[in-house]
Structure 1
Amino acid sequence: MIDVILATPRHVSLFGNVHEDVFDGPIIPAMLDSFLADQKQHIFIALDDGLICGMCSGMHHHHPDKAPDMWINELSVAEPWRRRGIATRLITALCDHARTLSCHEIWVIADPTDMAEGFYASLEWRKDGTRLAMFSDTL
């Protein structure tokens, strides 16, 4: 059975057992501590017998002219656990949590791949754009 939980600072030890396909790289302990201590950052993890096999992270925020919303930063389920409803459970958990934080909307920017479009369409989310561009600079 796969458990989905909201990770808090008391769950740090769970991040010592992560499938290599969940995050982009190794967990950096100081970054994990900082993330879990930040009340605006949220991460739900999927656990299979103590192994993190999926995660969904988000950040809630607001602007002076907008109600609070939740931005989905990353969603990942390791290959061996895909097509089992885990991503849907992770997103649902983040949505439910966002409601407790008085968020009025949840949104994500994703590469317009067949997998991403199919997944969010299955949730009946609306597609607001057709192109994705990311701009960055080294600081």
Structure 2
Amino acid sequence: MEIRRATSVSELTAAQHLYDGPARAEWAARFLAAPGHLMLIAYVDGASVGMVSGIEMLHPDKGAEMCLYELSVAEEHRRRGIGRALTEALARVARERGCYDMWVGVDTDNAPAHATYRAAGAAPEGEFSMLTWDFTGGS
């Protein structure tokens, strides 16, 4: 397995089978151009089998922190340490950038995600509640 940072729209769109929906080239270009946004892709035999995206965020009184935005491993490659390796790789990038921490929001009933993140060194900080504003016209 090899993990590389995506640097082109074609890399991001080629990995769309790992996303929740199809990639759009214009969104991929905006993602790459946005400061602090990054995606690491895991490859096995030249095929993309996993990805993790992160967003570095800054605040005037806290400095920089990394948000692990999304992690995905192709079903046929799960339970082989790829998710943990991607998470650890993102944590290395966060440290290199001087982030004071890295965090992720996880549904409380998502046991595989909890196991992956704990295996990569994360520790729970208690219950998490997420509130959302939907600007798409949905519910």
Q: TM-score, normalised by structure 1?
A: 0.87
> Secondary structure in 2 aligned to 1:138?
coil
Cα distance between partner residues in 1 of 2:72 and 2:86: 9
Residue matched to 2:111: 114
Residues 77-124 of structure 1, C-alpha deviation per residue, up to 9 Å, x if partnerless? 010010111111111111111111110100001111221222222233
Q: By how many angstroms is 1:75 displaced? A: 0.5
Against the structure 1 CA distance between its residues 104 and 29, is the aligned structure 2 distance closer, same or farther, given a 3 Å change threshold? same
Size of the aligned set, in residue pairs, is: 135
Q: CA separation in 2, counterparts of 1:124 and 1:98?
A: 14
CA offsets per residue over residues 54-87 of structure 1, 9 Å max, x none?
1000111111110211011001101001011111
What SS class does the counterpart of residue 5 from structure 1 fall into? Answer: strand
Counterpart amino acid of residue 97 in structure 1: V
CA RMSD of aligned residues (A): 1.7
Q: What is the identity percentage for the equivalent residue pairs of Structure 1 and Structure 2?
A: 35
Secondary structure of 1:127's aligned partner:
coil
What letter is aligned with 1:3? E
* Cα distance change on mapping 1:67 and 1:26 into 2, 3 Å: same
Work out whether residues 56 and 74 of structure 1, in 8 Å CA contact, stay in contact via their aligned partners in 2. Answer: yes
Q: Determine the structure 2 residue equivalent to 1:104.
A: 100
Give unpaired runs (5+ residues) of structure 1: none
- 1:135 is displaced (CA, Å) by 1.9
TM-score by length of 2: 0.87
| Structure with the larger RCO, 1 or 2 (CA within 8 Å, 6+ apart) | 1
Provide runs of 4+ in structure 1 moved above 6 Å.
none
Q: 2:76 aligned with 1:72, yes or no?
A: no
